[in-house]
Structure 1
Amino acid sequence: MASLTSRHPFNLYYNAGEYVKICGTQDGYFPDFGHHMANEMGGVWLHPIKLLDGFWLKVTDLDSDIAVWARADGYTSESWGGSRFDYDHGLSHIPVSIERSQFAPDDEKGMVAEYEISAYGKGTTRLKLELLSRTDLRPVWYSDEIGIIAGTGETAEEISSRKVIVKDNAHDWYVMIGSDLTGTDIRVGPEIYGPELTAGKGTGVSFVTECSLQEKEVFRFRLFVAGSESSRETCEQTYAVIERDYISMKEQKQQFYHKLDERAVLTIEGEDELNEQFAWVKRNTQWLVQQVDGIGRGLTAGGPTYPWWFGCDSTYALQGVLATGDHQLVKDTLNLLLEKSREANGNGRFVHEVTTMGAVSNPGNTQETAHYIAFVWEMFLWTGDETLLREHYDYCVQGIKWLLEEMDQDGDLFPSGYGIIEIAGLNMELIDSAVYTAKALQALEQMSLYLGETERHETYQQLAEQAVRAVNAVYWSEQNSLYTDAVAPVSDILPKVDYMVSLAEKQGITGYREYVDGLLADAGESQQDRGWLLNKNWVIVTPMEAGIADQEKAERALETMRSRDFIGDYGTYLAAIYQQGTMTISTGAHAVAEAAYGHPDHALDLLRRMGKSFSRVLPGSFSEMSPDYGCVVQAWTIYTLAVPVVRYFFGIQPEAQHRRVTLAPDMPQAWKHKSCSLEHVAVGDAQFDIYFETRESKRYVSISNTSGWTVVLDWKGKRRESSEIRIEWQLEQ
């Protein structure tokens, strides 16, 4: 498995097991940063608590009296989930090189950092080494709102000369730090710092030793960290297991990632960069999986800024997770969010944001409930898990009732409230909420039919047809050949004008007031609901992304959105009015929309634009904001890559409940004569390998169908089907 290296020392990295997350800079340091928790988002976290502000190594050459806090000049993201730091040029004439590798076991509450010091000087090099950690036991963001506040200090206890356990004074939160470094010199105390004066309230733990190395001799030692959010006994037990079994834990992690790499393997001839990006985004997704005892396991939104669970992010990201085969992660995440939605709301509303302490900081934006309902049906199509469908169905029924009654006071099938774009004041009948409500009704139409609820099926069918017609009629702007951001009467827009103008001016946008005045003039005296293109936010692509746009309108809107007004060097702008921000989700939804309406070349162009931001900050990852800011790893990026490729380019349409898969491939022109394969695609309990190749100027598709499911090929209006173990069809030109 390939690894990726960079030399950008001040960029962040994110190193993860399913329990512990480690975040610092690629020089091996741990500077304070973060806005949810000011200066506290980095370090070592065992959610829902923080364990360490960081750890550092000081190297002193005893003969030259040169002392250096080691700072790495090379960083590597290991494909198996670890990190490596190389210290070659930052040791100020001390004749040694250092390699530090670290990882967090997936199933244990701790981490290991391994150091190798290699001497290259002639004769003997005498060194003094100081391995220092700073503890910082505190709870995750938003915990104070539910009455959980860290103690005013911490108590440290030396277990031995190489083991220290530290406890928060007010809670049973523990961290144990130790090393197999030789020697007995130890210092412990809140006044002990390394090269960075971190903001945390904890204590310093310093292990010191001396060693002599001959030329080419290597000295190895390790730092072990374990934590517990519940008891000292658990912390000590975890430490003992990690100290004893860290080698086998590393091997297990490598084997796990090897199996992950074998799921949904994409190989497109001549597309080495895209193939690599597709492989890494599956690994990135695993970095964001978070387990918390007593709450559950699920995919978090992004590291390090959003290391907890979100409704909106999940219903996008999990579409990509379904397509790449980790169906258990999909079930775990959605079940966690369902449980929290029931606890916090109980009325069908789907939560927006859940911290790892279990606190719901936002009970849910309007769009999220609709998107959740739509996603439940897609989850069922991929998994065929009827028990899971039934677990979610009742809440989906409640959810559509909440949307169409409490949130849709005027009964036009356009629920009000905040959508994906969380801009204060824009809590109107927004396009994304309306689109996903129509999609949710279509999903409930299918769910109720499958579950034999005839009366509900008829109701949802009628409402779905009405909602789709309404979106296409009311949100469409004939003048602009676009769907609009929102629907509202003039009286709802007027009070928001000054605020919207102030937002635009803060972004350096001139002429926005004149633009809005023009919209108001076009509206005239009418107080009827009408569509408003207030910002041309990226969500105006959702009618096409969700597949509910009329064909003619979709073609016009997509053509309009292919301009430089909407698309920049790295993908689709968050808002065409501003042209100042690009996210993987805005680009992804746009790419899905192009692919859904038969434009794979334009979809691929968007993926290539986004691909230019790959590894810009963190090797092997896409940042939340393209090309290089926001979270260094973001969950919904897997939606952006996997959904266009798997669902549309390869055309996989699963029906796991019927043991059937339809292929309706629509490849980009650049791929039509190349070998293209997608291997080990999971649908239900079956796996499929799909190959496209050209032989003697003829195009063929071959499918490995070892489970004997029904495979249907939908190609240029003709359908063929087979349940043979090995299928090959010629694709007529």
Structure 2
Amino acid sequence: MAGITSRHPFNLYYNAGEYIKICGAQDGYFPDFGHHVPNEMGGVWLHPIKLLDGFWLKITDVDRKIAVWSRADGFTNEAWGSRFHYDHGLGHIPVELERIQFAPEQEKGLIVYYTLRNYGRDDVRLQLELLARTDLRPVWFSEQLGIEDGEQDEVIALAERRVKVKDSGNDWYVEIGSDLPGRIVETGGKVYGPEFTAGSGMGVSFQGEVLLAPDEKLNFRLFVAGSYRSGEECSAVYDRLVSEHETLFGEKQRFYHELEGHAKLEIDGEDLLNEAFKWAKWNNQWLVQSVDGIGRGLTGGGPTYPWWFGCDNTYALQGVLAIGDARLAKDTMDLLLRKSEEVNGNGRMVHEITTMGAVANPGNTQETAHYIAMVWDLFQWTGDEDLLRRHYSYCVKGMDWLLTEMDPDGDLFPSGYGIIEIAGLNMELIDSAVYTAKALQAMVDMSLQLGDEDGAKRYASLARRAVRGVNDVFWREEEGLYADAVASKQDMIGKVDDMVLLADQRGIEGYRQYLERMLEAASDPEAEQGWLLNKNWVIVTPMETGIADPEKAKRALQEMRSSTFVGEHGTYLAGIYQQGTMTISTGVHAVAEAANGNPDEALELLRKMLGTFSKVLPGSFTEMSPDYGCVVQAWTIYAFAVPMIRHFFGVKPDAYRKRVLIKPSLPKVWRDRSCSLSGLRIGEAELDIRIAPGEQEGEQRITIANKQGWHIMLDWNGKRLESSDHHMEWLVS
């Protein structure tokens, strides 16, 4: 479980347990940054509160009269935390320094290990100062709940090497301590390290002096514990960190080693792909957030979006299920359901929930439909009928909300904002229409599973109408593409100026003329038709979901392989603008190709995404490709795991009936290689799948270890083979 080293000191990193999130620069400092809480998104967070702006170590060579605030010149990202190397960052002081930090997975605190070594020929006398800067404050949007930050942080307990600080207006606590030799402790609002961070926090400085003989080492630690509930809890966490830090470190490393073995991908000759897939699983765990009293779930991205989203999770959880983390998928869906029931109650799925429990957006149209489809997906992978029943009643409400309040004209194209959150684009959008059709299909399956045959018949009729409508109304024959939106010419005229202004702001020339040509071609001002406004990436969703007619899918995918839609790093967010790419736009496009029998084209898109791996944070993909936005993003697991597991390996589960269909569709370049997927968890089952060339040309040997004896169906080029043996081996061609 080796880490990846970086030499980009000013890039950000992200360490995480399920409670604590740490974000700073790869030089070991903690610069102010962020816009949700201005200049406060870095540092150490115990959501829903911030604990520290950061921590720093000052080293003074007493005899040489050299003082340095240590700044790392090497950084290694590990799955479980980070290592900082100080090879040249200590000036002419003859010592080397290593800093190792991690957040225990289930504790509200963090541990930092420091190791100093005298590499000189003589004794070296050092003064050391280990300084932390508190900044107890709430997460973004907390004011809407009436929660305000106190005026200042206050020291409420001070011991020889242990300081407890409280927010003056709230029961928020942080306790900081160290086993650094010495007795001096200094605190105060004006006690700073090398960075004058924003906020009204408190400096806590531990100071001491040591003498190191040649090659002698000094090991010491920093412990930070927090609580948003009580001072007693904070101290109890601190005590565990101090007494059990070695055990906690071992547990953390073992946990990430176990994650590596879940849905382990090994494709011969694809070292980078295998490595990136492994890290995508680890990245996913970094984004799990637990908050007492609210729940546990997958957050959107770190450090900018460290809270929960409906839209992001309806994508990301498809990948989470594929890598076998059903518990996380269930926990996240339950959290979204509880908050949607509390805030909306009418079936609408919320868009954005902060870790303080505030809902910043009650929900875009698309994500209610996508949530309904996700519930059925969750059932297929888990077989959990109790969970299905728990969500089903809200899905019924959600379907009614979509087709009544949001669809007043009854065309089964709900209005409102979708995935593309552009002001004014609250129309009948392609993603909302497609996912509504998919949701209706899911409602048929859910209703039948739960014995509601009348409901199933009604939803089946609506689903057929919705699918037909997408293919008839959204399709633009002239371009061979699905439209972004459906509206009348009269409705579109009122949106032209706003859309042109947005294009002008992005430096796009000729956009007004482009829209006016479409308007001139529309003869009936009242008739609804499809409009290809920005060529947004979501026009690929009919192919992603299987809603597109086969011939239309073939033509649209061919069109979307052009340079209009695909750039160096993947699929543009909008073909008109060609100014942004995300792992989600590339991932959905790759899924669409793979789902329509084009694995080679899907792999080509994934390779473009692979070109951005480790650009900013070693072992991760940024929110915006290739190198900006969040340093880790949840829906990247969708982009990797869904095409890889659900399509290339062709895993289609039916966990309730304890059976799995495996219908591989490998890229051509892999057909003469060994391809394996081991530790694949579906419900209570675990499968190992290996596909390798046989002895004869064109022959494939497929081996499946079926540890629980589920019924396995293999579909190879239309030929069906079935078995419930614990070990299966088939030769196919």
Q: TM-score range by the shorter chain?
A: over 0.9
Partner residue in 1 for 2:365:
366
- The CA deviation string for residues 689-727 of structure 1, in whole angstroms up to 9 with x for no partner, is 100111313311111112111111112222121111111
Secondary structure of the equivalent of 2:404?
helix
Give the counterpart letter for 2:266 in structure 1: T
Secondary structure of the equivalent of 2:357?
coil
Whole-angstrom CA distance in 2 between matches of 1:693 and 1:610: 26
Partner residue in 2 for 1:67:
67
Secondary structure of the equivalent of 1:102?
strand
Give the counterpart letter for 1:24 in structure 2: G
- The CA deviation string for residues 405-443 of structure 1, in whole angstroms up to 9 with x for no partner, is 000000000000000000011000000000000000000
Give the counterpart letter for 1:218 in structure 2: K
Partner residue in 2 for 1:723:
724
Partner residue in 2 for 1:657:
656
Partner residue in 2 for 1:427:
426
8 Å contact kept, 2:318–2:642 = yes
- The CA deviation string for residues 35-86 of structure 1, in whole angstroms up to 9 with x for no partner, is 111000000000000000000011111111111111001111113x111110
The structural deviation recorded for 1:158 is 4.2
Secondary structure of the equivalent of 1:518?
helix
Q: Which one is further off, 437-446 or 158-167? A: 158-167
8 Å contact kept, 2:94–2:118 = yes
Whole-angstrom CA distance in 2 between matches of 1:216 and 1:542: 62
Partner residue in 2 for 1:610:
609
Whole-angstrom CA distance in 2 between matches of 1:389 and 1:673: 41
Aligned sequence identity (%): 63
The structural deviation recorded for 1:197 is 0.5
Partner residue in 1 for 2:409:
410
| TM-score normalised by the chain length of structure 2 | 0.99
Partner residue in 1 for 2:143:
144
Whole-angstrom CA distance in 2 between matches of 1:216 and 1:612: 42
Partner residue in 1 for 2:82:
83
Whole-angstrom CA distance in 1 between matches of 2:77 and 2:683: 32
Partner residue in 2 for 1:38:
38
Which aligned pairs between 1:242-641 and structure 2 lie closer than 5 A?
Answer: 242-641=241-640
Partner residue in 2 for 1:668:
667
Whole-angstrom CA distance in 2 between matches of 1:247 and 1:503: 54
The structural deviation recorded for 1:508 is 1.1
Whole-angstrom CA distance in 1 between matches of 2:157 and 2:674: 62
Whole-angstrom CA distance in 1 between matches of 2:403 and 2:276: 40
Secondary structure of the equivalent of 2:686?
strand
Whole-angstrom CA distance in 2 between matches of 1:428 and 1:234: 49
Which aligned pairs between 1:41-120 and structure 2 lie closer than 5 A?
Answer: 41-79=41-79, 81-120=80-119
Partner residue in 2 for 1:687:
686
The structural deviation recorded for 1:463 is 0.5
Give the counterpart letter for 2:609 in structure 1: M
Secondary structure of the equivalent of 1:308?
strand
Secondary structure of the equivalent of 1:226?
strand
The structural deviation recorded for 1:149 is 0.3
The structural deviation recorded for 1:258 is 1.3
Give the counterpart letter for 1:75 in structure 2: F
Point out where structure 2 has 5 or more consecutive residues left out of the alignment. none
Give the counterpart letter for 2:431 in structure 1: D
Whole-angstrom CA distance in 2 between matches of 1:618 and 1:246: 26
Which aligned pairs between 1:125-140 and structure 2 lie closer than 5 A?
Answer: 125-140=124-139
Partner residue in 2 for 1:696:
695
Whole-angstrom CA distance in 2 between matches of 1:217 and 1:506: 60
Whole-angstrom CA distance in 1 between matches of 2:77 and 2:387: 36
Give the counterpart letter for 1:53 in structure 2: D
Whole-angstrom CA distance in 2 between matches of 1:59 and 1:46: 29
Q: Which one is further off, 150-159 or 120-129? A: 150-159
The structural deviation recorded for 1:125 is 1.1
Q: Which one is further off, 91-100 or 631-640? A: 91-100
Q: Which one is further off, 707-716 or 620-629? A: 707-716
Whole-angstrom CA distance in 2 between matches of 1:590 and 1:290: 28
Query: Does residue 28 of structure 1 match 2:28?
Result: yes
Partner residue in 2 for 1:181:
180
Q: Which one is further off, 618-627 or 706-715? A: 706-715
Partner residue in 2 for 1:169:
168
Whole-angstrom CA distance in 2 between matches of 1:158 and 1:178: 12
Whole-angstrom CA distance in 2 between matches of 1:564 and 1:218: 57
Secondary structure of the equivalent of 1:397?
helix
Whole-angstrom CA distance in 2 between matches of 1:699 and 1:719: 15
The structural deviation recorded for 1:352 is 0.3
The structural deviation recorded for 1:525 is 3.9
The structural deviation recorded for 1:526 is 3.2
Secondary structure of the equivalent of 1:625?
coil
Point out where structure 1 has 5 or more consecutive residues left out of the alignment. none
Secondary structure of the equivalent of 1:657?
helix
Aligned length: 731
Whole-angstrom CA distance in 2 between matches of 1:505 and 1:76: 42
Whole-angstrom CA distance in 1 between matches of 2:188 and 2:707: 62
The structural deviation recorded for 1:157 is 3.3
8 Å contact kept, 2:125–2:211 = yes
Give the counterpart letter for 1:658 in structure 2: R
Following TM superposition, where does structure 1 have runs of at least 4 consecutive aligned residues deviating by more than 4 angstroms? none
8 Å contact kept, 2:694–2:731 = no
Give the counterpart letter for 1:544 in structure 2: M
Whole-angstrom CA distance in 2 between matches of 1:223 and 1:522: 69
Whole-angstrom CA distance in 2 between matches of 1:66 and 1:397: 70
Whole-angstrom CA distance in 2 between matches of 1:392 and 1:282: 27
Whole-angstrom CA distance in 2 between matches of 1:247 and 1:679: 31
Give the counterpart letter for 1:63 in structure 2: D
Give the counterpart letter for 1:238 in structure 2: V
8 Å contact kept, 2:490–2:525 = no
Whole-angstrom CA distance in 1 between matches of 2:253 and 2:437: 44
The structural deviation recorded for 1:249 is 0.4
Q: Which one is further off, 151-160 or 116-125? A: 151-160
Whole-angstrom CA distance in 2 between matches of 1:412 and 1:13: 47
Secondary structure of the equivalent of 1:639?
helix
Whole-angstrom CA distance in 1 between matches of 2:729 and 2:465: 42
Whole-angstrom CA distance in 2 between matches of 1:188 and 1:662: 63
Secondary structure of the equivalent of 2:495?
helix
Whole-angstrom CA distance in 2 between matches of 1:581 and 1:472: 28
- The CA deviation string for residues 261-315 of structure 1, in whole angstroms up to 9 with x for no partner, is 1100000000000000110000000000000000110000000000000000001
Give the counterpart letter for 1:717 in structure 2: G
Secondary structure of the equivalent of 2:306?
coil
Query: Does residue 160 of structure 1 match 2:159?
Result: yes
- The CA deviation string for residues 336-388 of structure 1, in whole angstroms up to 9 with x for no partner, is 01000000000000010000001111010000000000010011000000011
The structural deviation recorded for 1:186 is 1.2
Secondary structure of the equivalent of 1:351?
coil
Give the counterpart letter for 1:709 in structure 2: W
Q: Which one is further off, 121-130 or 152-161? A: 152-161
Secondary structure of the equivalent of 2:502?
helix
- The CA deviation string for residues 429-462 of structure 1, in whole angstroms up to 9 with x for no partner, is 0000000000000000000011110100000010
Whole-angstrom CA distance in 1 between matches of 2:556 and 2:302: 34
